[in-house]
Structure 1
Amino acid sequence: MTLFLIVLFGLIGGVAVGIQSPISSQISQRLGGSLESVFIVHLSGTLIAGALLLLKGEAQFGNWRVLPWYAAIAGVFGVIVISAINFTIPRIGATASVTLVVAGQLIIGLIIDQFGWFETSVREIDVSRLLGVAVLLLGTWLVVRS
């Protein structure tokens, strides 16, 4: 897969987070709670994933025993993300909220890469990666402080 396609898919994921965030916050504000929004977001995602699995026709659920124990709690992080977005958007806006989520991803991504956690390739923290994240964190600060 070319670098262009990898970057394109990554950007599409970022666009999805950017669109999902204010929609989720709107659900939370209109229904009066973050958990309602989390439930609706995850239920709709479950239904779409289920439909896609049916279309694919060959789900691999029979191999669930090979998953590490922490795979069972991955959904918890989705609850945290949606709840954080629901809390921050009404207070600081969509741009600052999504920027903070991305900043958090950068920080944990550096740590995960450094140690190869969750069976990822080890990519040690070096000066250029630190500088890149520092520039993005500076941008985060400029966006959030406004």
Structure 2
Amino acid sequence: MTSHFLLSLVAVVGGIAVALQAQLMGLLDRQLGTVESVFITYGSGGLLIGLIILFMRGGNLTLWHSVPWYALFSGVIGLVIVAAIGFSAPRLGLVTAFTIMVAAQFIVGAFLDHYGFLGAEVRQLNLEKIAGMLTVLVGVWLTVRS
């Protein structure tokens, strides 16, 4: 079983990567445009993961048909995420853009967890989680108004 510390460390590394990617995508967006920025981001990432899959000799790709059909839209949703970050971060600033995005993630995540939608394990919404989300919304308000 993976330790909570290791999982937290992976999340921290992911958070750092998102901030760095947003800044770099902002540079691309301002000089080339949003669509071009997304193309370069997905193209370079696609090339790298393609090489990794080749090295792994296909991995589990042959099992793609066994996943729920709606899971195959994750790449399309990823395009929306990448475009939203690339477009909003240089215009709002990283802190404001991420604060808004994280708040939206919390709200949608709480809904998905509470009802178990899209294969999520059911995790009931409770007063502590609601208080946490309200605190985040106060943070959004403070960040956006400054």
TM-score of the aligned structures, taking structure 2 as reference length: 0.91
CA drift at 1:35 = 0.8
Report the number of matched residues. 145
Q: Stretches of 4+ moved more than 4 A in 1?
A: none
1: CA distance, partners of 2:43 / 2:122: 34
Question: Counterparts of 1:16 and 1:56 in 2: how far apart (Å)?
Answer: 24
Question: 1:44 maps to which residue?
Answer: 44
Structure 1 vs Structure 2 CA RMSD: 1.5
1:128 aligns with 128
> Does structure 2 conserve the Cα–Cα contact (< 8 Å) formed by 1:25 and 1:86?
yes
Asked if 2 retains the 8 angstrom alpha-carbon contact of 1:114 and 1:124, the reply is yes
State the partner residue of 2:19: 18
Q: Sequence identity of aligned pairs in percent?
A: 36
CA contact (8 A) 1:21 1:98 kept: no
Q: Output one character per residue of 1:52-110: Cα deviation in whole Å (capped at 9) or x when no partner.
A: 22333351111111111112221121221122223222322111112212111111110
Number of the residue aligned with 2:56: 56
- Note the residue ranges of structure 1 that are not aligned, 5 or more in a row: none
- With the length of structure 1 as denominator, give the TM-score of the two structures: 0.91
SS in 1 for 2:125: coil
Q: 2:23–2:90: 8 Å Cα contact kept in structure 1?
A: no
> Residue 30 of structure 2 corresponds to which residue in structure 1?
29
Counterpart of 1:26 in structure 2: which amino acid? L
